[in-house]
Amino acid sequence: MASDPYSRNLDKRPANFQPLSPLPFLERAAAVYPERIAIVHGAQRFTYAEFYARARRLASALAARGIGPGDTVSAMLANTPPMLDAHYGVPMTGGVLNTLNTRLDAPIIAFSLDHADAKVVIIDREFSNVMKEALALAKVKPGTLSFGSYGNGSSNHLVAELFNTMAGIETNHIPYRGSAPMMTDLIGGRIQFAFDGIATTHGYVRSNTVRLLGVSTSKRSPVLPDGATISESAVPGFEASVWFALFAPAGTPQAAVDLLNNKVNIALAAAEVKENFLKVGNEPVGGIPDVLAVKVRAELQKWTAIVREKNIRIDQ
């Protein structure tokens, strides 16, 4: 039998595996079989390389909090992948994992949207638990953190760049072709944060796969009223949302505009309509055309400034 038991396909007998401590096994597996699947948990699948990277990130986070050789760590985690991360990540610091428990009802820092499909900042669980803590980490290591979007010039790309500017941080943009691949990489730890709509992320949050840190709109959400806004928790004055409005061609008679406006406001005020909007995280606003015109002008001014400042181009 070869002296290096990692390099051979051994029968899974206790005699073969007893001498192998978990940490060297994972390190070796990540080097020899980086693309092999190590964890399958529901729809989630992690290769040995990804699993090892997750454990390393957790170890770094623990070390930053003062965990070192000989320290005892007790972990209460919400799901299987984080539990395994702790099993390997704590020994990487030289610490000793004393207890490892799971809670399916573990509390989530959950902040949601205010207006139609507002963007919320979500973050992988090992990165940070609090918005201010996340910003402090980003400022310590400018340019080392990455965020995802639906693509160059997409709404969540612009929202994240506004966030970077107002928070005074530098992060790297990673464009994706839609929410699904972006969320896959967020869960896998390839990116550290992203802005996305509550309708898209609600399932991930409920399953405790990702953590929501703040809602991007100016008011707290009627869906999750206990959640703080980004403005009140970390970046005063920050506000961004994706909104929808009804427009008519230029030159439409004012009487027709007034009639349509009246009918739409009546519909939006109906209890059933409000309830259906709120179920998917949207809050109907309504109002008169003049108010909408003011909002359009303000939005154009705000986002034009960000596009020019960051030199954002759709064909990047």
- pLDDT, tens digit (0-9, with 9 covering 90-100), for 22-34: 677 788 888 888 8
Residue 42 has pLDDT above 70, yes or no: no
Cα–Cα separations (whole angstroms), residue 139 to 17, 95, 125, 190, 194:
44, 27, 19, 19, 17
The residue behind tokens 């986002």 is 303
Residue 164 has pLDDT above 90, yes or no: yes
Residue 52 has pLDDT above 70, yes or no: yes
Residue 228 has pLDDT above 80, yes or no: no
Looking at the chain, which residues constitute the CATH 3.40.50.980 domain(s)? Answer: 20-102
Class of domain 119-243: alpha beta
The C-alpha torsion from 196 through 198 and 199 to 203, rounded to 10°, is: 100
Looking at the chain, which residues constitute the CATH 3.40.190.10 domain(s)? Answer: 119-243
> In the CATH scheme, what architecture does the domain 20-102 have?
3-Layer(aba) Sandwich (3.40)
* Strand duo 37-41 + 44-47: pairing: antiparallel
| C-alpha of 208 from chain center | 11
Q: Which of 36-50, 63-77, 293-307 has the lowest mean pLDDT?
A: 63-77
| Amino acid letter for position 121 | V
Q: How confident is the model at residue 249, as a pLDDT?
A: 86
Q: What's the pLDDT band for 225 if we cut at 50, 70, 90?
A: low
Contact 282, 222 (CB under 8 A): no
Contact 179, 150 (CB under 8 A): yes
Both tokens of residue 166?
A: 């107002």
> What is the full DSSP assignment across 39-89?
EEETTEEEEHHHHHHHHHHHHHHHHHTT--TT-EEEEEESSHHHHHHHHHH
Highest mean pLDDT among 69-78, 141-150, 212-221: 141-150
CA dist., res. 199 & res. 120, Å (int) = 10
Contact 217, 229 (CB under 8 A): yes
| Amino acid letter for position 29 | A
Instruction: Return the bridge partners of 214, or none.
Output: 121
Both tokens of residue 240?
A: 């961004």
Contact 102, 270 (CB under 8 A): no
Residue 71 has pLDDT above 80, yes or no: no
Q: How many CA atoms lie within 13 A of 201 on its CB side?
A: 32
Residue 241 has pLDDT above 70, yes or no: yes
Contact 44, 189 (CB under 8 A): no
Q: How many CA atoms lie within 13 A of 78 on its CB side?
A: 15
Write the pLDDT tens digit of every residue in 248-274: 888 888 899 889 999 989 998 899 988
Q: What's the pLDDT band for 17 if we cut at 50, 70, 90?
A: very low
pTM of the full structure: 0.57
Looking at per-residue pLDDT, the higher value among 13 and 200 belongs to 200
